Amino acid sequence: MLWIKNGIVIDPKNGIEGEKMDIFVKEGKIVEESEVKKEECKVIDASNKLVVAGGVEMHSHIAGSKINTGRSMRPEEMRVVRNVAGKFRAVVGRVLLTAPGIGYEYAKMGYTTAVEAASPPIGSPHTHEELDAIPILDKAALPVFGNWHFVFKFVSEKDQEKLQAFIAWAIERTKGYGVKIVNPGGVEKWMYGSNVRTLDDEVPIYGVTPREIITEVVKANEALNLPHCVHIHCNNLGVPGNYETTIETMKLVSGMKNENRPVLHVTHVQFNAYAGSSWRDVSSGAEEIAKYVNKADNITIDMGQPIFGHATAMTGDAPFQFTLHKLIGARWSNKDTEIEGGAGIVPIVYLPKNPVHALQWAIGLELGLLIDSDKVVISTDWPNGGPFTEYPYIMAMLMSKRMREKELERVSPYVQKASSLPAIDTEKTLYEVIKMSRSLPAKILGMENKGHLGVGADADIAIYNINPNEVDPSAEYDLVNKAFRKPAYTIKDGEIVVKDGELVAETWGRTFWVDATKKVSMEAIEADLDEYFQNYYTVERINFGVDERWVKKPARLEVS
Amino acid sequence: MENVVCTFCGSVCDDGVFEDGDVRKLCALGKSKFSKKERIKAPMIDGKEVSYEEAIEKAAEILVEAKRPLLYGWASTVNEAIRLGVLIAEKVGGIYDQCASVCHAPGTLALIEEGVPGGTLGSVKNRADVVIFWGANPVEAHPRHPTRYSVMAKGLLIKDRKNRKVVVIDVRETKTAKLADIFVQIKPGYDYAIISALRAIVKGEKIEADEVGGVPVEKLYELAELMMNAKYGVIFYGLGVTQSRGRDRNVENAIKLVQQLNRKTRWVIWPMRGHYNVVGAGEVPAWEVGYQFAIDFSRGYPRFSPAEFTAVEALVRRDCDAALIIASDPAAHFPRKAVEHLKKIPVIQIDPHPNLTTLLSNVVIPSAIAGLEAEGSVYRMDGIVLRVKKLVETEYWSDVQILEKMYEEVVKKVG
Ligand code: SF4
Ligand SMILES: [Zn+2]
């Protein structure tokens, strides 16, 4: 039992905006004061400290074949020693990290939940093995659907019943949490050496278009009423002019509504927010996107903020990765995966003086600043945009124009004409950045017990050494930036795991997965599953997927 | 029991049928894995039978007391066991190395230099209209690879063997060459030169020679032409490429060729990994500690150095003072100087079957056979995970049980 005393609480979901209050924890949950015996509580003195929910990472590449190939491919990344073996595991990694390092580093920033954003379905047992090697955090994984031949088939047959049954089947089999789409149709075209360019380009054999895939999959997701909305990495990622594709994609769901969450989450939008027609005249499309998102009532995004320095591009968007490899001449890994899609990996480095990199950096911030704080989530799309350990930098930047002005001095002047960042006066409040890193991602994911401090919530709590009622983030950005890097406490399921920025305990979190199989009739797709597995897969149908008992601490969420 | 997973070669066929101690559908190599073979009877310390607990306790003592124990093998066990092995190596400040260091490590080095443009075996089955085996002989080493995945396999776009051209490039006419449409015989050690010639042709340059590595230039032009005209091609390379002159440079060069070909059409390249879970023996340490093989923990954090920390190097330099060998037989396969050192230091063996290494081991711990008597996950040669099954009961402890207990004992001793 914990008694967190006299903290200054910011808890956007419950409308608490810097109030001095006590928080009580029992059996891993936040409870009413009357539920605990105070004399048995461990007391944490949080006077003058900020008390918030543990951070929720909704888009990061924390587990599976991509991140692991990245590690093997880049030993130069792994040479940075972060922790020597002892009470805790040895940890190495510069931007890429070992699995134990992922758990430790998120916790050391006050984050307690993280979602793997793109798991190749047939690779799901690998994804889960790596998730199981990440300590402390609660986890989940999103299997990728947008280039899976079953999806092509059922979309081309306009058979919602089958599509829904298939999605339920696939999420159950992969022990996944929701539906991810990556460059729908485009990765399949890559198998023939090309890519889709518009929402109306057709996929070979099936004749379906990205427009149809997205629309039908969102419909199915809504009919199933899955906790998380469809999570999309748009077509044309990394192509100048692509902001239009992004907005067109968003328009596909206009008119659709869900009471509890958006119906479409568009991810790492920075990479999909370019105006212009080539890298020579590229500029920001962030304002247009912001306008659309702010007006819409069913769309959220995350930033995909680049951080200057090393990064590794790794996505399920295999044709994009190849283009990137050609563009910068860097190493390139590719993985075409059965009839499911593909992936690629390319090392990159973001340089402040490089006009394009500086523009990317500016666009990420524009999105974070121009979009309402209940519609944009903080992310670097780790490790695509760089380290997640720089979230404190992003938060501080969003809250301080002065800090941005200082930073702008060191980046390519190209951003002055190609983006609106220098002209933006907005300064997000602490309340807003807490929302963007806690309650909002939890809401989009449909994780009711995450991202807030109300009674019944999981006791995932971060306490920082700043008093929100005294600090001026606009002027004291250094202080804020430092404080978020070094929580006074991180508490996971009611246990103190980090104290004064140092790891003090290693715990093991759960892996959430969603079971919607009761909502559909599996019979509808039996024959199709058998046919495709027999003809196009190289594993037997029965050997595909993950059984719950193989997962260390599974937490099943039944959808009814 | 149907859909049984074979634990012999990297093809990891998952369609075996197990009945009354007999397995159907698998190839002869696979079947041998499931048939009765000599077993190590009981745990032993210095030849004396002991209990599992005693043997494991002794093993833990050896590992903890050693300055730098070597933990080697891992390619023929399950991921769960490998993970424990990595954790033990980290705890005791030892060296983790695995069988790849004597076969496909050059492929990993090439991955570091260039990345690997690859695909799963299912991509090949469904799409590949040109399949090249380079220094690889699946008919003998991966017998069902040709039928299930590559040569005769049918799929989405390839409906018939006639839709696919199969090329074998090797120093001798192997059994696989007999399945091929085109066989290109090359002089030993000329892989690099031939790949360079192909790269030049693909680039549009002229070759100023009559032959390269024993291959007439016209034939190379034909081959390059075939490659450029493929819709989806694959190069499967084997030990003939990684263990001949040039080694990782050969693979790197081949990868560059594939990079170039992707500017015109689609190509992938992939190694023909040998043991059924040699991929897992690299993947697991990669996520746990950042590297695939040749990992030293003597400083309390992982360091990767193929020139120092492979098993052979560590033994030849006498840089290790104890060894744990699991599911492998270095006494039979390592260079003489390495084996000599192995004879001098305390050795712990974990294996279902006796082999030459048993003879020089101080602690011998028999284990259940993964895929027959114990379950766990393994990675097929293309990284696809399969769960091998427990089909029969056994008195033997599984690798996972043994290593779990050993880890526990080690933690007790080092804290
Ligand atoms: S090809 Fe390999 S995996 Fe398949 S049955 Fe034969 S030995 Fe087993
Ligand atoms: Zn991503």
Q: Residue A260: phi, psi to the nearest 5?
A: -95, -20
Indicate the residue type of B21: G
Q: What does the pLDDT look like over A109-143, one tens digit per residue?
A: 999 999 999 999 999 999 999 999 999 999 999 99
| Angstroms from A386 CA to nearest CA on chain B | 18
Chain B residues with CB under 8 Å of A544 CB are none
Please choose from B3, B4, B5, B11 the residue to mutate so as to test ligand 1's pocket, defined by most ligand atoms within 8 A of CB.
B11
Mean pLDDT confidence for B361-378: 97
Cβ partners under 8 Å of residue A300, min gap 6: A229, A262, A264, A265, A266, A293, A375, A376, A377, A440, A444
Q: Which ligand is nearest to the CA of A315?
A: 2
Nearest ligand atom owner, CA of A302: 2
B114 interfaces chain A, CB cutoff of 8 Å: yes
**Residue A413 predicted with pLDDT over 90:** yes
Nearest 5°: the CA angle A321, A326, A332 is: 50
Q: Which of B148, B286, B299 sits opposite A538 (nearest CB)?
A: B148
Beta carbons of A35 and A44 less than 8 angstroms apart: no
Residues B375/B78, Cβ–Cβ less than 8 Å: yes
**Among B12, B24, B137, B144, which is best to mutate for testing ligand 1, by the most ligand atoms less than 8 A from CB?**
B144
Could you give the angle at the alpha carbon of B211 between the alpha carbons of B205 and B216, nearest 5°?
Answer: 100
Torsion angle of the four alpha carbons A417, A423, A429, A434, in this order, in degrees rounded to the nearest 10: -10
Q: How far is B13 from chain A (nearest CA, A)?
A: 8
Q: Please, where in chain B does CATH 3.40.50.740 lie?
A: 40-102+276-414
CA–CA dist A400, A421 (Å, integer): 12
The whole-angstrom separation of Cα B55 and Cα B49 is 9
Indicate yes or no: pTM above 0.95: yes
pLDDT higher for A487 or B110? A487
* Closest Cα to atom 2 of ligand 1: B9
Distance of CA B8 from the midpoint of ligand 1 (Å): 6
Residues with CB under 6 A from ligand 1: B 6, 8-9, 11-13, 26-27, 29-30, 142-145
Taking contacts as CB-CB distances below 8 angstroms, the residues of chain A near B283 are 68, 126
**Cα–Cα distance, A93 to A79 (Å, whole number):** 6
Torsional sign, CA B122, B126, B132, B137: positive
- Give the Cα separation of A271 and A301 in Å (integer): 12
Which of A192, A538, A552 is most worth mutating to test chain B (most B CB atoms within 10 A of its CB)? A538
Tell me the chain B residues in contact with residue A149 when contact means C-beta distances shorter than 8 Å: 156
- CA–CA distance, B225 with B228 (Å, rounded to integer): 5
- Could you say which of A73, A85, A535 has the minimum Cβ distance to residue B111? A73
Structural contact between residues A379 and A302, judged by C-beta atoms closer than 8 angstroms: yes
Q: Does domain A53-445 have CATH number 3.20.20.140?
A: yes
Q: Which residues in chain A have their CB less than 8 angstroms from residue B154's CB?
A: 535
**DSSP designation for A458:** B
Q: Which residues, other chains included, contact B104 with Cβ-Cβ below 8 Å and sequence gap of 6+? A: B239, B242, B271, B273, B274, B278
A258: pLDDT confidence band, cut at 50, 70 and 90?
very high
**Residue whose CA is closest, atom 4 of ligand 1?**
B13
Ligand nearest to the CA of B17: 1
Q: Which residues contact A281 (CB under 8 A, 6 or more apart)?
A: A240
Determine contact, residues B196/B180, Cβ cutoff 8 Å. no
* Cα–ligand 2 centroid distance for A140 (angstroms): 14
CA–CA distance, B34 with B6 (Å, rounded to integer): 8
Helices (H), A438-537: 439-445, 477-485, 523-536
Atom of ligand 1 nearest to the CA of B276: 3
Which of B187, B169, B146, B171 shows the shortest CA–CA distance to B235? B169
Which amino acid, B64? V
Of all residues in chain A, what percent carry a pLDDT higher than 70? Answer: 100
Cβ–Cβ gap B112/A333 under 8 Å: no
Task: Give me the mean pLDDT over the B312-326 stretch.
Answer: 97
Task: Give B 158-187 residues with CB within 8 A of chain A.
Answer: none
- For the domain spanning B40-102+276-414, the CATH number is 3.40.50.740
Ligand 1 centroid to Cα of residue A538, in Å, is 13
Residue of B nearest to A318 (CA): B117
Please compute the mean of the pLDDT values over residues A10-24 and round it to a whole number. 97
B341 Cα to chain A: minimum distance (Å): 28
**Does A536 sit within 8 Å of B115, measured CB to CB?**
no
Residue B204 has pLDDT above 90, yes or no: yes
pLDDT classification of B246: cutoffs 50, 70, 90: confident
Give the architecture (CATH level 2) of B105-271: 3-Layer(aba) Sandwich (3.40)
By the 10 Å C-beta count (0-12 exposed, 13-18 middle, 19+ buried), A169 is classed as buried
A248: Cβ contacts below 8 Å, ≥ 6 apart: A199
What does the pLDDT average to over B150-166? 96
- Pocket probe for ligand 1: among B15, B24, B26, B34, the residue whose CB has the most ligand atoms within 8 Å is B26
Q: Which residues of A touch B155 (CB under 8 A)?
A: 535-536
Report which ligand 1 atom has the smallest distance to the Cα of B9: 2
Domain boundaries, chain A: 53-445
> Counting every residue, how long is chain A?
560
- For residue A159, how many other CB atoms are within 10 A of its CB? 17
Give the whole-angstrom CA distance, residue A487 versus residue A482. 9
Residue A560 — pLDDT band, cuts 50, 70, 90? confident
pLDDT value for B300: 97
Confidence at residue B128, expressed as pLDDT on a 0 to 100 scale: 98
CA distance B344 to B329: 16
pLDDT value at position B36?
A: 87
Counting beta carbons within 10 angstroms of the beta carbon of residue A167, is it exposed (0 to 12), middle (13 to 18) or buried (19 or more)? buried
Give dist(CA A330, CA A315) in Å, integer.
15
Interface membership of B126 toward A (CB under 8 Å)? yes
* Chain A nearest CA to B46, separation (Å): 32
C-alpha B172 – ligand 1 centre gap (Å): 23
> Measuring from atom 8 of ligand 1, which residue has the nearest CA?
B30
Q: Which DSSP category does B397 fall into?
A: P
Which one of B301, B378, B380 would you mutate to disrupt binding with A, by most A Cβ within 10 Å of its Cβ? Answer: B301
Q: Do B154 and A92 touch (CB under 8 A)?
A: no
Sheet (strand B182-185) strand order: B182-185, B165-170, B130-134, B232-237, B266-271
CA dist A419 to A360, A378, A415, B299, Å? 9, 19, 5, 48
CA of B410 to nearest chain A CA: how many angstroms apart? Answer: 13
Q: Show Cβ contacts of residue B225 under 8 Å, excluding neighbours closer than 6 positions.
A: none
pLDDT bin (cut points 50, 70, 90) of residue A196 is very high
Q: Give the rounded distance of the alpha carbon of B110 from its chain centre.
A: 15
User: Which residue type occupies A53?
Assistant: A
Q: Residue B172 in 3-state DSSP?
A: coil
* Candidate from A490-494, B24-28, B124-128 with smallest mean pLDDT: B24-28
Partners of B148 on chain A (C-beta within 8 Å) are 538
Query: Quick one: pLDDT band at residue B415, thresholds 50, 70, 90?
Result: confident
Q: What is the mean pLDDT of residues B212-224?
A: 96
Residue pair A237/A271 in contact (Cβ under 8 Å)? The answer is: yes
A268 C-alpha vs ligand 2 centroid, how far in Å? 7
**What pLDDT shows up at residue B22?**
87
What is the per-residue pLDDT across A68-116, written as a single tens digit (0 to 9) for each?
999 999 999 999 999 999 999 999 999 999 999 999 999 999 999 999 9
Strand residues in A27-122 grouped as ranges (E)? 29-31, 42-45, 50-53, 55-60, 81-83, 91-92, 111-119
Give the pair of three-digit tokens for residue A453: 């401090």
Give kind and range of the element (H or E) at residue A492. strand A489-492
Count residue pairs from A and B with Cβ separation < 8 A.
Answer: 181
